[in-house]
Amino acid sequence: MLKLEIVTPEKKVFDDSVDSVTVPTASGEAGILPNHAPLVSALKPGILSYSNKGIVDKLAVSGGFVEVSSNKVSILTDSAQAPGEIDAAAARADREAAEKALAAHATAALEETEADREKLESANVRLQLAGK
């Protein structure tokens, strides 16, 4: 078993034992099982999933960090939302705002548009998880 803890600036979202965790890291999706090697990685916006006794739950997470050590997985993220918590209209509005910002800065350097690209990716992930 793994001890999974998911924390946002507002609250502790999850704190329980699970069988496995899959996180969207900056270098790709990472599957974590018991006795995983120590790991520290940046998270990118995506879907975090965890399973316990055959039941899989998913959360839309924004950027942050994951640390794995001694069968404990600690996730620090700006936001983590279950499918039922996602406001699809707000996510669509966020997506449109990010798309407009990116279009307005189409000739800007990639580094200058990183925040807008992350906002767009986060909105798309929330819409995907909400099924809209």
**Domain co-membership, 19 together with 69:** yes
**Domain co-membership, 53 together with 103:** no
**Domain co-membership, 73 together with 24:** yes
**Domain co-membership, 11 together with 73:** yes
**Domain co-membership, 69 together with 9:** yes
Mind listing the pLDDT tens digit for each residue in 41-86? 999 999 999 999 999 999 999 889 999 999 999 999 999 999 989 9
Using pLDDT thresholds of 50, 70 and 90, give the confidence band for residue 112.
Answer: confident
**Domain co-membership, 27 together with 11:** yes
**Domain co-membership, 8 together with 61:** yes
3-class secondary structure per residue, the chain: CEEEEEECCCCEEEEEEECEEEEEECCEEEEECCCCCCEEEEECCEEEEEEECCEEEEEEECCEEEEEECCEEEEEECCEECHHHCCHHHHHHHHHHHHHHHHHCCCCCHHHHHHHHHHHHHHHHHHHHHCC
**Domain co-membership, 33 together with 67:** yes
**Domain co-membership, 76 together with 90:** no
Q: pTM (2 decimals)?
A: 0.82
